[in-house]
Structure 1
Amino acid sequence: MELRQLYYFVKVARKEHVTQAAEELHVAQSAVSRQIHQLEEELGVKLFVQKGRNLQLTPAGALFLKRAEVILSDLERAVIEVHEFLDPEKGEIRLGFPHSLGNRLIPQVVAAFRKLHPNVKFRFKQGMYPSLIRDLVKGEIDLAFISPFPKEHEQVCGEVMLTEELYAILPPGHPLSDEEEIELVQLKDETFVIFSEGYSLRPIVWEACLEAGFEPKIGFEGEETDTIRGLVAAGMGVSLLPELALYQSGQLQPTKVRISKPAVTRTIGLVHRSNEKLPLVAKLFHGFLLRYFKRD
């Protein structure tokens, strides 16, 4: 059995399509098919079955995928550890974070860290809360910024880095846009632009509205802070966004107003696998972040 066969198998399993897997691997489709066939012959079992235009893992294939992913992840970490042993300053940090931190926070902390450690590389993954936790547990990333911070989790642990206030954002010219602060109940008759299911900001906004005594009327749902902010600025409704998501230039921008009641906040934590030591370069970055946010 060759490592190349494992790489090809995992890629096909994730894409559920030989052609798409071959394109990402930059090899011929026939080469991928041949390696998968040889792997099945060596194992003595079918790993895939055809389902329409896609491939679907057999029960044996699903079992093998779990082990193959672990093997490849362990191999990747081993290579990183060897490189770090030779020179930690030339290692790679695999960092995950939600979309709402991509505009300002992540560029700021990475730029500050690279001033001290210019040769360290970064590999980033954006995602929603469940996918970031999954990628962390599977070993595809070493550290992740998470919101809200998971207080109890068997497989990950970490620290709260900051607690961030959420603001009401209103269309320009809205009757409340000139107020210094408002109570959330004052928006009970408004149409809300809110994040789609699965995004951590959605339940925070929803629960805050319920605490204020009303259920928000949802007019539009989005998956990016830019989309939410843009729709509000265009007069399509109101919303709540954290301050870090409001740093944007451009002519069409919503108005932000502080919410006095109830207080609406979110926690942002930094987490890692609880059953493993961090790679040296990730540990270096972790210590830097603890000092960075303590300073603020």
Structure 2
Amino acid sequence: MDLQRLKYFVEVARQKHFSRAADVCRVSQPSLSQQIKKLEDELGGRVFERNREKVTLTPLGQDFLRHAQAILAEVQSAEEFVQGVQEDHARTIRIGAIPTIAPYLLPELLAAVQTRVPSARFELLESYSETLTEALMTGRIEFALLSPPTAVDAECDHLVLVRDELLLTLPEGHPLAAAPDLTADRLADERMILLENSHCLAAQAGAFCRELGLEEHLEIRSSQIDTLLGLVESGFGLTFTPAIATKAHRHRRVVHRSLGDPPCSREIRLVWLKRKFLTRSQHSVIEAARHLADGS
């Protein structure tokens, strides 16, 4: 099976548009379409449904996409093995993190890697879990800081960095801020505000709210933790803040309280593909992460 044809297929699946995919691949659209047609002939069925607005994968295309991504990632890994042997310590380390982790753990991790490999250079990708897992599968990044579950858990190795508690966050002066026996039933009339649904932290906090019977009070959603804390500070409602973020937002006039027994928490992992060849420089990321985990 032709590798270039696989690259065209994966790019069309990513762009959901033939013209944009052709631009990225630096090929004419008719040539790209011809290669996709040859791929469909090989597979014995259509991989894309085409309409004026966008291109979507057929069931066959969805099944084949995982295989195509895996093949291309293996090829890139082999190429990187050769490159890594030749110039290991000059290699760029590519790492991604979701927005609710990146500002709080990524600088410390990169500093620890830099200590081990002073010549290391970094390419960083901060985005949502879906984008990062795709980037791992396609070889755009070697590592990601994620919170499970994700779509690639079975295909990845991981190292747990920390179990991050979600803390109930109230404005200073709130009647419940200093309550000695804070329980879920005392929050029944409170308005809860969470991150927008594209954040996995929103799903985790939302599930915790439902456990506490607070689902009906999710009235406001935001895309930034600091925005949520500003709204809490101004009396618009209560939220849940990951413990790793509290130090960075000490300027906010809010109070953080543990809630639940056991408390709600998320697992933060450093993740990499099992089949991925890692150079000595890239292994330093795992070593640095293990050191941070042992010290946490």
1:71–1:215 Cα change, 3 Å: closer
For normalisation by structure 2, the TM-score amounts to 0.77
1:62–1:212 Cα change, 3 Å: closer
CA distance in 1, matches of 2:126, 2:165: 22
Corresponding residue for residue 96 of structure 1: 96
CA distance in 1, matches of 2:108, 2:90: 20
Corresponding residue for residue 283 of structure 2: 283
1:149–1:89 Cα change, 3 Å: farther
CA distance in 1, matches of 2:37, 2:208: 57
1:124–1:183 Cα change, 3 Å: same
Paired residues of 1:166 and 1:240 also in contact (CA < 8 A): yes
CA distance in 2, matches of 1:205, 1:197: 10
CA distance in 2, matches of 1:182, 1:94: 46
Q: Does 1:34 align with 2:30?
A: yes
Paired residues of 1:8 and 1:35 also in contact (CA < 8 A): no
CA distance in 2, matches of 1:90, 1:196: 39
Q: Does 1:259 align with 2:258?
A: yes
Q: Deviations over 1:113-157 (max 9, x none)?
A: 22332322333344445554555455554333232478x953333
For normalisation by structure 1, the TM-score amounts to 0.77
Residue identity opposite 2:255 in structure 1:
K
Residue identity opposite 1:92 in structure 2:
T
Q: Percent identity?
A: 26
Paired residues of 1:137 and 1:155 also in contact (CA < 8 A): no
CA distance in 2, matches of 1:214, 1:56: 37
Paired residues of 1:156 and 1:271 also in contact (CA < 8 A): yes
Equivalences, count = 289
Counterparts of residues 180-259 of structure 1 (less than 5 Å) = 183-185=182-184, 186-197=186-197, 199-209=199-209, 215=215, 217-248=217-248, 253-259=252-258
Corresponding residue for residue 160 of structure 1: 160
Tell me by how many angstroms 1:103 deviates: 1.4
Residue identity opposite 1:33 in structure 2:
Q
CA distance in 1, matches of 2:56, 2:213: 47
Name the one with the larger helix percent: 2
Paired residues of 1:149 and 1:267 also in contact (CA < 8 A): no
Gaps of 5+ in 2: none
Paired residues of 1:161 and 1:290 also in contact (CA < 8 A): yes
CA distance in 1, matches of 2:40, 2:131: 33
Q: Deviations over 1:148-202 (max 9, x none)?
A: 478x95333333221223322223553344x387624333321000234464433
1:101–1:95 Cα change, 3 Å: same
Structure 1, 218-227 or 82-91: larger mean CA deviation: 218-227
Tell me by how many angstroms 1:36 deviates: 0.9
Residue identity opposite 1:258 in structure 2:
R
Find the residue that maps to 1:219 and give its secondary structure. Answer: strand
Find the residue that maps to 2:30 and give its secondary structure. Answer: helix
Find the residue that maps to 2:166 and give its secondary structure. Answer: strand
Paired residues of 1:181 and 1:258 also in contact (CA < 8 A): no
Tell me by how many angstroms 1:239 deviates: 0.4
Q: Does 1:120 align with 2:116?
A: no
CA distance in 1, matches of 2:31, 2:121: 32
Q: Deviations over 1:76-118 (max 9, x none)?
A: 2223222211232122333232211111211221123223323
Corresponding residue for residue 54 of structure 2: 54
1:61–1:258 Cα change, 3 Å: closer
1:51–1:261 Cα change, 3 Å: closer
Corresponding residue for residue 110 of structure 2: 110
Tell me by how many angstroms 1:267 deviates: 2.2
Gaps of 5+ in 1: none
Paired residues of 1:204 and 1:266 also in contact (CA < 8 A): yes
Find the residue that maps to 2:154 and give its secondary structure. Answer: coil
CA distance in 1, matches of 2:240, 2:92: 35
